[in-house]
């Protein structure tokens, strides 16, 4: 779904000050029936995040927080079952999940002497039943499940979407017989288990064990969002500092452009995010590995695909026109175009 | 001097003798008495050549007034020099302005304007002032005062009085044909000069219009020696030369528009004045059609040549000087000759002028070139003598020469030879557009964390790399925009980045990246080829002569001609090089520069010492030809890299000393000299040059040395160290006589390359002109013994035309000159049919045995000597690779096994020691000490590996036909070298490697994986038959979230879910959990949590159901079915932990509190099932229920909760089946319970 800048702006225009709720999404889908839902949702989410970034500060002044908290208390004082917090968020044009966080933080500050740690807050947001106040727990929960742009559930969905598309891309590469850096080998897992067993049985603390291994505790916190060993980890282990999702062991040509790596982005490529990615990731990859391909699975603004000659190619799907290098016994190196029909494996 | 020339012209002295006299320092016995007479003039001998060159330039003034002048840097007479040789009196960048050193000041008339001139120009005379006048013409496009004072540029034939008069003949100067266009001689104001001063209308000095691409990049470059851009010394030299390179725009430089306007006016004025072309429009740039095109050429007729004999004589002497390398720059002379050949018309001289001189008998008083016919005749004569050099020029130039109709008229024989040479030539010089920038790839060996002192340094480098490329990209985008300025655009960012590179190690990392990128972007022959000078690919060159006529009109519209540096361009940083130059300038970091110099020096030494293969004689089959191509290419790559590196080294090394002009006073200069002589050279180039000459590798060493020296500051040539280097180079220059082609001599093109680069160097402004015309004695003093028996690189034809033109793009000016003639001349020949005859390279000499230490090594050397060089390369390559692979193989096998063994040892330790064990670090020590001894196996295994692998590889890479003995020797050598490489590495590193690997593997994985993930990882993956069509987890979370949000409200009245949808959702969830292809741990965790929440909502009957308005609730059977589905999901499909205890969290149980009537049976059912399916323990459930009581509930709800608790306890799950049946019979049991 590649949109022109004009098309994109038409959509973005409709999203100004729309609350991030189920209902808003439904309306959006009705307004743009021809666009894919995923693309619309992605654009909506990005636009909303831009909006929140712009207005974030004004909701976090001590006065604003106090004001919200009092309004919350008044609201639940009247009727604890009413969607007080959600309506407050919608009224002041702020994300419900973030509003829930503000109120929760304020609530905890009122009940405890020390300000609550970030992880405590996060855990409570993830599992509101840990919130000591039943009414607040319900209010927070309601905010989180009704927010389609922020909150732990949305984060998880986004993460899952990203992961799924990486897997999808990996399968497509495998089908094309393109070799890239592989995930961790089983051997390493076994060793890891041994290590963990060692740690479990030993009396050493987590930190001292890590320092013994020469690693800092940063990056390894036994969180619920534990990662699996991936290509990226392997490359990092080799010393690579920044790595794209897939580094091709043998470069290929896509639409006439040589690519060395592929990055999967399960989002819509708008100007803002694309520039951030270019700066933070794509050029860094180019600087290290040469030209590459970015797949924005949910589409992008056509005008952004302007760095092809420079070595950043944008696509909204897996490319069909892939030319690989192959060795011919007679003519040395020749190029062969991969047919689109499925190959015999 | 004049006397010598005069006696020659009078045929008092035979030419041959004169040439001998010029070329040799010692007169030989067989010389005639006349020559003996000459030898009396020996002290003057070295002055003869400059005199001759100046004489010729002078004579050509009237022919080429408007044309591009030919610069030359010849010194003034030695008398003009202060005691120290090579001290200040030099300068005269501007072409011919400098060419009359021997002459007395022309007239007082000439002095007046000079004295008037602002700046450093002093009046002539050996006064106590700071030495002789210094004309710095050619620096910067036009000083501000030029335009206003209405002077013609000095190069347009200016005669400039030198400081002290030399023992020349004043008579000569006075009798010179007046150069009407020279405003120095004929200034607009001042004494009326003899002759037609009244007719001389001062032409307006037009400043060059910078339109070339190079210029728009940043700052206009200064051409020191080239004619195009000349500049009268500015009255504000400091402002003119803001940068140490003197690259700053002159402050008075007008805007382009203004300049254009002026140019236009001047042009129209000129048109009105015609047909009196006395006032030439001085323009910059090499001759291009736009200028000359307007003038129709006078036809040249051999029959109308005025004094053949005299011209022949001078041509012969001149040619002999060229042939003996007595002129500083071969190509400059050729350029001059071609200018004469293509001269369009003579400046009209009045009959009276000629008449006044006619009476005189002095041959020097009669103009040498009295007509165009004379010029062309002379040029043809010289070209005949220089045919050999011409025949080595590129095909395009040859074609233009061969097609030149004047040559056809004047020397049909030469034309025929040229034509033959053209047809036989394969020397096509291609113009390649440089590819866009490629980044230096990440180098895991050097760029990895282990090479940095701290995480911070590593991180900084990471960022630096990105910033560097960001800056580079921005430069690429903008540097062609005229308004863009490097310093303004990027300077602060670069300095900020430099500021972060605190640690020395970070600097070296960055310098490595910088240098690699420099080589990558600027070194490849392709990218350096077409745009060596950084110009847009030359339109003239690309189109060739054929289309030039059509191009002419278009060109005439262009205001300024394409500017290229002319035949002697100053050192520049074309194209991408400009980025690196500007980067260094903007960074202005001492640290960076120092590290860069270190790194460049190291790389230069490394490349300079590279054992380049030697050409083997007699082997002319196709295969070796293929090898030969590779060798030549390799040489070109090395040479170009070296030149690039040396250029930047020179740039950085002399940067601190570089100033726009030499020190003003002798005292200052002496003190600087004393100081500078203490500073050791950044790179011992003298030693490298001596080695290069000795090893006969001058063809590799000299070109880069020249690049390095071209950036020297004014003091450098005065330092003893560098002076000796220059002397060596000078000696080399003299020895490169092209006509001598003896066995073992340097190849022709090699020589030509060296002559071209050296000639170029001698024209660099900072190199004193007098240096070239040093006393022979001094030169001879530096005689180097090059007569070694060994054949070096010099005798191998490594240079081809492509490389020659790449290194010396200014040679291409010859072609441009000829092309512009074609475009301007009306009757041009149609060219001839192409016929390409391939030529073969000839091989030279034999390879003598090389002596070396160690019999084995000697044998191996000998073995390689008599084999094709590819064999040696192959063997070395195989050894290198196999050795390296061996290490990798050992890492992958032996070390991996040892790591495995470490695992089991670790487990043993855990089992035996239980919970009470010591420090983990001790444990690792223990492991390593147990494994260490096994490392010794590595050497054995390594040896085996090399023995097994190397022969096969060698065999595969060498030709099938390689004789068996040769093959086995090659194999053995490869095995030996590979083993040596591998084993020495292994013995040094194996222990540390094992230790590191054990440690690294453990830490790596631990860092990457949390304990939960580790536990789960074992069970990951779906069945083999799975086609991964299950719904995506993200989609499911999203769907479930929607249900949850509907349940939590607020919702519109018409919103709800159908029971079928719920069932479908759970089915999909099951599929998705079974497939697992797209399931990441996080998603699974959230799905688990959501499923528990869904169950709670089902139990509390809080899911809004779509259907008839009355229903809105799920019937009990459906609810149970759904709960069963969930139970089976939890039991069978989820692989991660499911937070089932959440079912009994106060919040979820609290959902029940609000329902009226409360129904507990589903909850009880669920709890029982959980226990029965072993999803939760009985005790766990009891604990949860117990905790529920602690919460605050409405009183009735607390009671019901207690009842539920009792009920759960009372009915052991063994009785479950009956209970379930009973429940089915009593659907309202929960309510009953609650009421009891």
What is this model's ipTM? 0.79
pLDDT at A294 over 90: yes
**B553-578 pLDDT, tens per residue?**
444 433 333 345 677 888 888 888 88
**B804-817 pLDDT, tens per residue?**
888 888 888 888 88
Could B1002 and A213 be called an inter-chain contact, meaning their C-beta atoms sit closer than 8 Å? yes
CB-nearest to A164 from B470, B1033, B1049 is B1033
pLDDT at A70 over 80: yes
pLDDT score for B855: 56
pLDDT score for B235: 37
Q: How far apart are CA B1048 and CA B1046, in angstroms?
A: 5
Contacts of B89 (CB under 8 A, 6+ apart): B75, B76, B80, B81, B82, B131, B132, B134, B162, B163, B770
pLDDT score for B167: 39
pLDDT score for A86: 92
* Set of chain B residues whose Cβ sits within 8 Å of the Cβ of A134: 1146-1147, 1150, 1191-1192
Classify residue B1028 by its DSSP letter. Answer: -
Q: How far apart are CA B1163 and CA B1159, in angstroms?
A: 8
Bigger pLDDT: B85 vs B362:
B362
pLDDT score for A255: 85
Q: Which residue of A has its CA nearest to B1001?
A: A188
pLDDT at B498 over 70: yes
pLDDT score for B865: 61
Bigger pLDDT: A76 vs B928:
A76
Could B1017 and A228 be called an inter-chain contact, meaning their C-beta atoms sit closer than 8 Å? yes
Bigger pLDDT: B294 vs B4:
B4
Which two tokens mark B836? 């390409």
Greatest distance between any 2 Cα atoms in chain A? 86
DSSP output for B4-25: HHHHHHTTSS-HHHHHHHHH-S
Q: Which residue of B has its CA nearest to A260?
A: B441
Q: Which residue of A has its CA nearest to B1092?
A: A127
Confidence of residue B53 (pLDDT cuts 50, 70, 90): confident
Cβ–Cβ under 8 Å, residues B816 and B539: no
Cβ–Cβ under 8 Å, residues B566 and B813: yes
Confidence of residue B318 (pLDDT cuts 50, 70, 90): confident
pLDDT at B197 over 50: no
**B710-737 pLDDT, tens per residue?**
998 888 888 889 988 988 888 888 888 8
Per-residue CA distances from B522 to B533, B605, B643, B1152 (Å): 12, 19, 11, 76
pLDDT at A124 over 60: yes
Bigger pLDDT: B534 vs A81:
A81
Phi, psi of A322 (to 5 degrees): -115, 125
pLDDT score for B2: 63
Strand partners, B409: none
Q: How far apart are CA B67 and CA B55, in angstroms?
A: 18
**B298-314 pLDDT, tens per residue?**
777 777 777 788 888 88
pLDDT score for A238: 60
Name the least confident of A256-265, A308-317, B23-32, B672-681. Answer: B23-32
State which of A183-192, B138-147, B761-770 shows the largest mean pLDDT. Answer: B761-770
Bigger pLDDT: B1065 vs A252:
B1065
Could B1012 and A226 be called an inter-chain contact, meaning their C-beta atoms sit closer than 8 Å? yes
B1080 interfaces chain A, CB cutoff of 8 Å: yes
- Over residues A266-295, the mean pLDDT reads 91
Bigger pLDDT: A122 vs A113:
A122
Name the least confident of A2-11, A234-243, B774-783. Answer: B774-783
Cβ–Cβ under 8 Å, residues A313 and A254: yes
Whole-angstrom distance between the N-terminal and C-terminal Cα of chain A? 31
Q: How far apart are CA B571 and CA B761, in angstroms?
A: 9
State which of B70-84, B746-760, B1156-1170, B1179-1193 shows the largest mean pLDDT. Answer: B746-760
Classify residue A281 by its DSSP letter. Answer: I
pLDDT score for B106: 36
| Predicted model pTM | 0.63
pLDDT score for A49: 92
Collapsing DSSP to helix, strand or coil, A151 comes out as coil
Cβ–Cβ under 8 Å, residues B653 and B597: yes
Strand partners, A312: A292
Query: Of A266, A261, A214, A216, which is closest to residue A235 (Cα–Cα)?
Result: A261
**B448-477 pLDDT, tens per residue?**
777 777 777 788 888 888 888 888 888 888
Q: How far apart are CA A92 and CA A106, in angstroms?
A: 17
When the pLDDT of each residue in chain A is averaged and rounded to a whole number, the result is: 78
Q: Interhelix angle for B964-1008 vs B896-913, to 10°?
A: 40
B197 interfaces chain A, CB cutoff of 8 Å: no
Q: How far apart are CA B764 and CA B762, in angstroms?
A: 6
pLDDT score for A209: 45
pLDDT at B40 over 70: no
Distance from B1149 to chain A by nearest Cα, in Å? 10
How many contacts does A have with B, using Cβ atoms within 8 A? Answer: 234
pLDDT at B1046 over 60: yes
DSSP output for B446-482: HHSGGGSSSHHHHHHHHHHHHHHHHHHHHHHHHTTST
Three state DSSP letters for B962-975: CCHHHHHHHHHHHH
Residue B1023: CB atoms within 10 A of its CB come to 8
Residue B1212: CB atoms within 10 A of its CB come to 12
pLDDT score for B418: 87
* CA B226 to chain centroid: 25
* Set of chain B residues whose Cβ sits within 8 Å of the Cβ of A83: 1049-1050
pLDDT score for B523: 63
Token pair 């909303």 in the structure block, residue: A48
Which two tokens mark B212? 């070339």
State which of A52-56, B770-774, B783-787, B814-818 shows the largest mean pLDDT. Answer: A52-56
Bigger pLDDT: B236 vs B737:
B737
The H or E element that residue B630 is part of is helix B622-654
pLDDT score for B599: 93
pLDDT at B211 over 80: no
Query: Of B1093, B1035, B1024, B1099, which is closest to residue B1064 (Cα–Cα)?
Result: B1035
Q: In terms of C-beta distances under 8 Å and separation of at least 24 residues, what long-range contacts does A93-96 make, across chains too?
A: A93/A17, A93/A19, A93/A55, A94/A52, A94/A55, A94/A59, A95/A20, A95/A48, A95/A52, A95/A147, A95/A149, A95/A150, A95/A151, A96/A20, A96/A21, A96/A142, A96/A143, A96/A144, A96/A146, A96/A147, A96/A150, A96/A151
CB-nearest to A289 from B441, B999, B1006 is B441
Confidence of residue B520 (pLDDT cuts 50, 70, 90): confident
pLDDT at A336 over 50: no
DSSP H helices, B746-868, are 748-762, 769-772, 776-781, 801-807, 812-824, 855-865
pLDDT score for B11: 64
Cβ–Cβ under 8 Å, residues B1063 and B1094: no
Which two tokens mark A169? 């891309």
Q: How far apart are CA B924 and CA A55, in angstroms?
A: 53
Cβ–Cβ under 8 Å, residues B563 and B228: yes
Collapsing DSSP to helix, strand or coil, A334 comes out as strand
Token pair 């060793």 in the structure block, residue: A191
* Set of chain A residues whose Cβ sits within 8 Å of the Cβ of B1007: 215, 219-220, 233
pLDDT score for B1144: 87
CB-nearest to B439 from A141, A202, A287 is A287
Q: How far apart are CA B928 and CA B909, in angstroms?
A: 13
Classify residue B363 by its DSSP letter. Answer: T
Q: In terms of C-beta distances under 8 Å and separation of at least 24 residues, what long-range contacts does B914-919 make, across chains too?
A: B914/A201, B915/A201, B915/A202, B915/A203, B916/A203, B917/A202, B917/A203, B919/A212
Could A228 and B1009 be called an inter-chain contact, meaning their C-beta atoms sit closer than 8 Å? yes
pLDDT score for B600: 94
Collapsing DSSP to helix, strand or coil, B614 comes out as coil
When the pLDDT of each residue in chain B is averaged and rounded to a whole number, the result is: 68
pLDDT score for B36: 58
Confidence of residue B619 (pLDDT cuts 50, 70, 90): very low
Cβ–Cβ under 8 Å, residues A165 and A266: yes
Cβ–Cβ under 8 Å, residues B813 and B286: yes
CB-based burial of residue B630 (10 Å sphere; 0-12 exposed, 13-18 middle, 19+ buried)? middle
């Amino acid at each position: 779904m590649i949109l022109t800048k004009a098309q994109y702006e038409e959509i973005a225009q409709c999203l100004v000050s729309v609350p991030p709720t189920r209902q808003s999404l439904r309306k959006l889908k009705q307004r743009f029936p021809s666009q894919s839902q995923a693309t619309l949702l992605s654009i909506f989410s990005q636009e909303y995040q831009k909006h929140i970034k712009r207005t974030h500060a004004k909701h976090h002044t001590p006065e604003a927080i106090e004001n919200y908290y009092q309004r919350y208390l008044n609201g639940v004082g009247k009727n604890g079952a009413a969607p007080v917090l959600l309506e407050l968020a919608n009224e002041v044009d702020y994300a419900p999940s973030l509003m829930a966080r503000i109120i929760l933080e304020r609530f905890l500050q009122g009940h405890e002497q020390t300000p609550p740690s970030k992880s405590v807050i996060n855990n409570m947001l993830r599992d509101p039943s840990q919130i000591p106040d039943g009414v607040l727990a319900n209010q927070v929960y309601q905010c989180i499940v009704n927010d389609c742009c922020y909150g732990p559930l949305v984060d998880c969905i986004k993460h899952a979407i990203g992961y799924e598309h990486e897997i999808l891309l990996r399968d497509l590469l495998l089908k094309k017989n393109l070799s890239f850096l592989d995930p961790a080998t089983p051997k390493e897992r076994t060793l890891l288990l041994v290590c963990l067993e060692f740690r479990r049985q030993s009396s050493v603390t987590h930190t001292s064990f890590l320092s013994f291994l020469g690693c800092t505790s940063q990056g390894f916190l036994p969180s619920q969002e534990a990662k699996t060993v991936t290509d990226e980890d392997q490359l990092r282990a080799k010393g690579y500092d920044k790595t794209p999702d897939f580094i091709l062991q043998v470069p290929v040509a896509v639409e006439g452009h040589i690519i060395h790596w592929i990055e999967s982005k399960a989002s819509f490529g708008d100007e803002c995010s694309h520039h951030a990615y270019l700066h933070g990731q794509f050029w860094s990859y180019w600087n290290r590995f040469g030209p590459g391909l970015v797949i924005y699975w949910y589409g992008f603004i056509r005008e952004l695909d302007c760095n092809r000659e420079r070595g950043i190619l944008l696509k909204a799907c897996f490319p069909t026109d892939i030319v690989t290098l192959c060795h011919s016994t007679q003519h040395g190196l020749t190029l062969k175009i991969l047919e689109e029909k499925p190959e015999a494996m | 001097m004049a006397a010598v020339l005069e006696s020659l012209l009078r045929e008092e002295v035979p030419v041959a003798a004169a040439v001998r006299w010029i070329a040799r320092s010692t007169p030989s016995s067989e010389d005639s008495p006349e020559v003996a007479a000459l030898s009396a003039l020996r002290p003057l001998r070295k002055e003869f050549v400059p005199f001759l060159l100046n004489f010729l330039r002078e004579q050509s003034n009237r022919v080429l007034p408007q044309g591009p002048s030919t610069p030359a840097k010849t010194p003034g007479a030695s008398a003009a020099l202060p005691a120290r040789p090579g001290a200040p009196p030099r300068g005269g960048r501007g072409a011919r302005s400098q060419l009359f050193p021997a002459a007395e000041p022309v007239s007082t008339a000439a002095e007046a304007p000079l004295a008037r001139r602002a700046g450093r120009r002093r009046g002539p005379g050996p006064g106590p002032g700071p030495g002789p006048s210094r004309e710095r013409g050619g620096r910067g496009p036009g000083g501000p005062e030029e335009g206003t004072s209405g002077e013609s540029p000095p190069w347009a034939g200016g005669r400039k009085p030198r400081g002290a008069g030399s023992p020349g003949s004043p008579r000569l100067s006075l009798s010179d044909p007046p150069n009407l266009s020279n405003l120095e001689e004929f200034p607009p104001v001042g004494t009326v000069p003899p002759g037609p001063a009244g007719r001389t209308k001062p032409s307006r000095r037009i400043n060059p219009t910078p339109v070339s691409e190079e210029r728009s990049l940043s700052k206009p470059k200064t051409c020191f020696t080239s004619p195009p851009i000349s500049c009268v010394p500015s009255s504000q030299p400091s402002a003119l030369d803001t940068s140490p390179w003197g690259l700053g725009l002159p402050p008075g430089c007008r805007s382009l528009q203004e300049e254009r306007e002026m140019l236009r006016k001047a042009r129209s004025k000129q048109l009105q004045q015609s047909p009196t072309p006395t006032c030439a429009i001085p323009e910059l740039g090499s001759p291009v059609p736009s200028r000359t095109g307007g003038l129709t050429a006078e036809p040249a007729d051999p029959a109308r040549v005025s004094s053949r004999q005299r011209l022949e004589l001078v041509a012969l002497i001149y040619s002999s000087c060229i042939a003996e390398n007595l002129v500083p720059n071969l190509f400059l002379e050729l350029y001059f000759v071609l200018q004469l050949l293509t001269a369009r018309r003579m400046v009209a001289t009045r009959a009276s002028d000629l008449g006044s001189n006619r009476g005189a008998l002095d041959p020097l008083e009669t103009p040498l070139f009295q007509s165009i016919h004379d010029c062309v005749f002379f040029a043809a004569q010289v070209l005949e003598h220089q045919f050999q050099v011409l025949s080595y020029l590129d095909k395009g130039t040859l074609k233009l020469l061969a097609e030149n109709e004047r040559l056809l008229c004047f020397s049909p024989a030469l034309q025929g030879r040229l034509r033959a040479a053209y047809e036989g030539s394969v020397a096509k010089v291609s113009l390649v557009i440089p590819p866009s920038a490629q980044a230096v790839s990440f180098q895991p060996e050097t760029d990895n964390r282990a090479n940095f002192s701290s995480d911070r340094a590593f991180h900084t480098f990471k960022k630096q790399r990105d910033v560097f490329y960001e800056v580079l990209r921005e430069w690429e985008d903008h540097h062609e925009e005229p308004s863009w300025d490097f310093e303004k655009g990027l300077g602060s960012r670069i300095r900020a980045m430099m500021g972060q590179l605190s640690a020395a190690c970070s600097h070296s990392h960055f310098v490595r990246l910088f240098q690699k990128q420099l080589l990558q972007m600027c070194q490849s022959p392709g990218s350096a080829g077409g745009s060596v000078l950084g110009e847009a690919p030359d339109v003239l060159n690309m189109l060739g002569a054929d289309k030039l006529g059509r191009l002419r009109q278009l060109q005439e519209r262009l205001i300024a001609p394409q500017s290229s540096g002319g035949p002697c361009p100053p050192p520049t940083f074309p194209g991408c090089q400009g980025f690196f130059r500007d980067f260094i300038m903007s960074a202005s970091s001492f640290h960076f520069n120092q590290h860069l110099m270190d790194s460049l020096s190291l790389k230069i030494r490394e490349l300079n010492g590279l054992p380049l293969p030697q050409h083997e004689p007699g082997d002319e089959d196709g295969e070796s030809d293929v090898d030969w191509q590779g060798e030549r290419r390799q040489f070109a790559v090395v040479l170009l890299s070296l030149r690039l590196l040396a250029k930047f080294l020179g740039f950085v090394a002399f940067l601190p000393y570089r100033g726009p002009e030499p020190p003003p006073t002798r005292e200052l200069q002496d003190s600087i000299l004393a100081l500078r002589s203490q500073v050791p050279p950044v790179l011992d180039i003298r030693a490298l040059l001596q080695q290069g000459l000795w090893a006969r590798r001058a063809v590799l060493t000299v070109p880069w040395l020249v690049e390095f020296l071209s950036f020297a500051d004014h003091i450098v040539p005065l330092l003893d160290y560098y002076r000796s280097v220059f002397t060596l180079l000078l000696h080399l220059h003299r020895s490169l006589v092209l006509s001598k082609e003896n066995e073992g001599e340097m190849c022709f093109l090699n020589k030509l390359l060296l002559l071209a680069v050296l000639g170029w160097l001698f024209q660099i402004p900072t190199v004193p002109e007098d240096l070239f015309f040093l006393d022979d004695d001094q030169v001879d003093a530096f005689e180097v013994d090059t007569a070694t028996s060994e054949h070096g690189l010099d005798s191998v034809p490594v240079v081809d035309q492509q490389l020659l033109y790449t290194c010396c793009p200014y040679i291409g000016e010859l072609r441009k000159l000829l092309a512009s003639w074609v475009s301007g001349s009306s009757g041009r020949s149609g060219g001839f049919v192409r016929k390409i005859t391939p030529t073969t390279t000839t091989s030279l000499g034999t390879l003598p045995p090389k002596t070396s230490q160690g019999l084995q090594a000697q044998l191996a050397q000998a073995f390689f000597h008599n084999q094709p060089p590819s064999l040696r390369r192959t063997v070395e390559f195989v050894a290198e690779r196999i050795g390296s692979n061996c290490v990798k193989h050992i890492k992958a096998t032996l070390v991996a096994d040892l790591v495995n063994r470490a695992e089991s040892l670790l487990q043993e330790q855990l089992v035996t020691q239980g919970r009470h064990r010591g420090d983990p670090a001790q444990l690792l020590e223990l492991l390593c000490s147990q494994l260490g001894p096994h490392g010794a196996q590595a050497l054995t295994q390594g040896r085996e590996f090399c023995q097994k692998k190397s022969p096969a590889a060698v065999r595969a890479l060498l030709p099938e036909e390689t004789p068996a003995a040769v093959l086995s020797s090659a194999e053995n050598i490869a095995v030996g070298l590979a083993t040596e490489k591998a084993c020495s590495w292994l013995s040094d590193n194996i222990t540390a490697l094992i230790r590191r690997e054990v440690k690294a593997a453990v830490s790596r994985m631990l860092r990457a994986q949390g304990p939960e993930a580790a536990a789960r990882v074992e069970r990951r993956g779906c069945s083999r038959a799975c086609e991964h069509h299950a719904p995506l987890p993200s989609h499911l979370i999203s769907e479930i979230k929607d249900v949850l949000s509907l349940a939590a409200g607020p919702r519109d009245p018409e919103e709800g879910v159908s029971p079928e949808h719920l069932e479908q959702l759970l089915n999909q969830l099951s599929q998705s959990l079974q497939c697992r292809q797209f399931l990441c741990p996080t998603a699974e965790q959230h799905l688990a949590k959501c499923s528990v929440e869904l169950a709670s909502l089902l139990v509390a009957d809080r899911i809004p159901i779509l259907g008839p308005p009355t229903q809105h609730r799920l019937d009990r059977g459906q609810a149970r079915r759904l709960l069963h589905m969930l139970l089976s999901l939890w039991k069978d499909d989820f692989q991660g932990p499911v937070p089932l205890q959440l079912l009994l969290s106060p919040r979820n149980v609290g959902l029940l509190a609000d329902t009226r009537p409360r129904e507990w049976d589903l909850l009880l059912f669920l709890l029982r099932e959980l226990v029965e399916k072993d999803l939760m323990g009985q005790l766990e459930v009891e604990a949860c229920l117990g905790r529920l009581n602690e919460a605050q509930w409405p009183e009735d709800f607390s009671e019901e909760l207690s009842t539920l608790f009792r009920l759960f306890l009372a009915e052991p799950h063994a009785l479950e089946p009956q209970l379930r049946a009973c429940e089915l019979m009593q659907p309202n049991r929960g309510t009953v319970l609650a009421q009891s």
